[in-house]
């Protein structure tokens, strides 16, 4: 360990640490544009300058390595003057279009200008005119007037994706970031450039001009689009009381977790998830009656299903219920499915029906298209798609979680098999066409809307809490299952306790060693 002094306070850090990181450890945040913890220091923005005793000039804290007894000053008139100078130069060429800039409110240049740059500009000339919307990727627009040339985007594509789509061309006042001969940024991780950009130079066409960042609430969640379980933020508008539909998810951003996803997420999770929250939702329960769709309140819908199940139990044919669960369900929900239908109903037709695997890559993306395949396996579910014949024969009540069964069987095949089943209920957050074959549809919550946990492919159990509720009239599968257990009067001393995800998780840990070891 090496001891140095930062603003008079002694700090001990391992050899090889930079002044920037030592200061961070001492609780001092130094301003910076080009530095990013995922990359090697670049030293181009000159904003992290500090005073080091014995050095004739200010030094870059991001690339200067500490020495024994070093005395660093991070706040002084000379440092302040240097930062003001850097910011004045940047603003001399930066458009003041903050009122229409998507980054406004979370822009580093705005923040640092307020913190260090309050000064009158000596620049009286016209600003350079540059391209304001250069398409550099499917959803990426580059504004060359706003760009401060920190090169974070270029280094991300060079060091993380290693796809090298962007470069720094020309020099001096003509310096610009650009793609090579029209080949766009396209590597499955392009959305990260928007988060990386410290100013509003790279914007996302999905988010551009849709809302202002300060209207959004931020909630922590886990991405459900593959088995990696990337940690994410769900940025959502909580809604305006008199504007129906104003509660909405606007964007998904990575939440740094070095053990799972680092500071990145893939484009499938980023863009797919926003769509999954807002589009094609089944937003309230309904029953198909005589070919017509009848919307029902939750009480009625649950009562109908409860009555059908009770009739089976009373007739001694409780094992005639079949359930197709999905790895989109949380560990807690899958546990309840298993307890209620396998243990209490005694049904042998409790299967898993997942979407077909897709393609993974050698970075974050996994081939499975569900968040909890590992959790389902640990809970004893067989990942192979079910045999339709075995699922349907003799079944009187079928409960499907998720619409994925339609991916595995042709419509005619499915219709023929399901026709003989008296009661068919689909529990789903999305309507994909399968609902026409069903008697009833219960509108369920997406992962961002519920409490629970997913087990990622490495066996990491990641709990999360409900982030947003864009559809007010949906219920989580856990709420549906707990309500069913309650209304059927199943073991009240047991199920009576299991009405929240946290309570089910505790029970799960008690009963299944895999989860016990990870509680």
Q: Which residues bind another protein (CB under 8 A)?
A: 158, 164-171, 180-181
Q: Sign of torsion, CA 442 446 451 456? A: positive
- Cβ-based nearer residue to another protein, 131 or 382: 131
Minimum gap (Å) between residue 181 Cβ and another protein = 6
| Residue 366 near residue 502 (C-beta atoms within 8 A) | no
Shortest Cβ 157–another protein spacing (Å): 9
Specify the 3-state DSSP secondary structure of 35: coil
Q: Are strands 71-73 and 59-60 parallel, antiparallel or unpaired?
A: unpaired
* Cα–Cα distance list, 428 to 61, 178, 348 (Å): 53, 44, 23
Using the minimum distance from each CB to another protein, give the nearer residue, 180 or 303. Answer: 180
Rounded distance between C-alpha atoms, residue 20 and residue 52, angstroms: 12
Tell me the closest approach of the beta carbon of residue 44 to another protein, in angstroms.
14
Distance CA 157, CA 39 (A): 11
Taking the least distance from each CB to another protein, the nearer of 40 and 240 is 40
Min CB(170)–another protein separation in Å: 5
Looking at the Cβ atoms of 91 and 157, the one nearer to another protein is 157
* Spatial distance between the Cα atoms of 478 and 466, rounded to a whole number of angstroms: 12
Q: Residue 164 CB, nearest distance to another protein (Å)?
A: 4
Which of 169, 494 has the CB closer to another protein? Answer: 169
Closest to another protein by CB, 165 or 333: 165
Scan for tokens 């979407």, then name that residue. Answer: 355
Least distance to another protein from the beta carbon of 187, Å? 13
- Report the nearest approach of another protein to the CB of residue 205 (Å): 23
104/168 with CB nearer another protein:
168
Which among 33, 37, 15 has a CA at the least distance from the CA of 24?
37
The residue with tokens 């959803």 is 139
3-state secondary structure 131-177: CCCEEEECCEEECCCCCCCCCHHHHHHHHHCCCCCEEEECCHHHCEE
Nearest CA-CA partner of 234 in 263, 277, 289, 203: 277
124 or 171, CB closer to another protein? 171
Cβ proximity to another protein, 165 vs 477, nearer residue:
165
- Find where tokens 């997913």 sit: 454
Smallest distance from another protein to CB 33, Å: 20
Which residue lies nearer to another protein by CB, 166 or 329?
A: 166
Q: How far is the CB of 169 from another protein (least distance, A)?
A: 4
The count of C-alpha atoms lying within 13 angstroms of the C-alpha of 468, restricted to the half-sphere facing its C-beta, is 30
Tokens matching residue 467: 């982030």
| Cβ proximity of 207 and 250 under 8 Å | yes
Angle value at C-alpha 347, between 342 and 352, nearest 5 degrees: 65
Q: Which is nearer to another protein, 175 or 217 (CB)?
A: 175
- Cβ pair 232, 446 in contact under 8 A: no
Rounded to the nearest whole angstrom, what is the least distance from the CB of residue 155 to another protein in the complex?
Answer: 12
- 32 Cβ contact list (under 8 Å, min separation 6): 20, 45, 47, 48, 62
Residue (of 267, 95, 127) closest to 188 by Cα position? 267
């Amino acid at each position: 360990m090496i001891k140095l002094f930062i603003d008079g306070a002694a700090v001990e850090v391992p050899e090889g640490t930079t002044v920037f990181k030592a200061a961070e450890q001492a609780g001092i945040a130094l301003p910076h544009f080009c530095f990013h913890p995922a990359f090697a220091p670049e030293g181009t923005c000159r904003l992290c300058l500090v005073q080091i005793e014995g050095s004739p000039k200010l030094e870059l804290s991001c690339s200067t390595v500490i020495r024994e007894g070093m005395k660093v000053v991070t706040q002084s008139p000379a440092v302040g003057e240097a930062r003001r100078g850097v910011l004045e130069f940047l603003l001399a060429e930066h458009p003041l279009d903050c009122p229409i800039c998507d980054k406004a409110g979370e822009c580093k240049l705005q923040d640092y200008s307020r913190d260090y740059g309050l000064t009158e500009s000596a620049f009286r000339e016209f600003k350079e005119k540059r391209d304001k919307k250069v398409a550099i990727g499917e959803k990426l627009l580059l504004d060359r007037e706003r760009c401060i040339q920190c090169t974070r985007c270029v280094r991300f594509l060079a060091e993380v994706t290693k796809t090298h789509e962007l470069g720094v061309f020309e020099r001096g006042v003509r310096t610009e970031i650009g793609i090579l001969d029209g080949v766009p940024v396209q590597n499955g991780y392009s959305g990260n450039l928007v988060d990386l950009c410290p100013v509003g130079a790279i914007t996302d066409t999905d988010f551009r001009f849709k809302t202002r960042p300060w209207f959004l609430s931020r909630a922590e969640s886990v991405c459900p689009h593959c088995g990696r379980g990337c940690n994410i933020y769900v940025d959502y508008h909580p809604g305006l009381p008199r504007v129906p539909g104003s509660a909405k998810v606007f964007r998904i951003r990575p939440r740094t977790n070095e053990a799972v996803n680092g500071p990145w997420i893939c484009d499938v999770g980023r863009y797919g998830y926003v769509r999954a929250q807002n589009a094609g939702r089944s937003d309230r329960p309904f029953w198909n009656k005589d070919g017509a769709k009848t919307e029902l309140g939750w009480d009625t819908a649950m009562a109908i299903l409860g009555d059908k199940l009770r009739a089976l139990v009373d007739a001694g044919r409780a094992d005639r219920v079949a359930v197709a669960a999905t790895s989109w369900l949380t560990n807690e929900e899958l546990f309840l499915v298993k307890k209620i239908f396998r243990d209490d109903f005694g049904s042998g037709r409790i299967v898993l029906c997942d979407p077909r695997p897709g393609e993974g890559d050698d970075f974050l993306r996994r081939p499975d298209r569900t968040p909890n395949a590992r959790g389902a396996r640990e809970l004893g579910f067989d990942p192979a798609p079910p045999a339709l014949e075995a699922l349907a024969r003799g079944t009187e009540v079928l409960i499907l979680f998720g619409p994925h069964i339609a991916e595995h069987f042709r419509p005619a095949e499915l219709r023929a098999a399901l026709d003989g089943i008296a009661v068919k209920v689909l529990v789903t957050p999305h309507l994909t066409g399968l609902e026409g074959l069903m008697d009833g549809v219960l509108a369920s919550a997406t992962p961002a809307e519920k409490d629970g946990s997913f087990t990622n492919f490495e066996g990491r159990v990641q709990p999360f809490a409900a982030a947003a509720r864009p559809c007010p009239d949906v219920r989580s599968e856990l709420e549906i299952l707990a309500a069913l257990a309650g209304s059927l009067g199943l073991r009240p001393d047991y199920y009576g306790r299991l009405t929240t995800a946290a309570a089910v998780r505790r029970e799960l840990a008690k009963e299944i060693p895999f989860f016990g070891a990870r509680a």
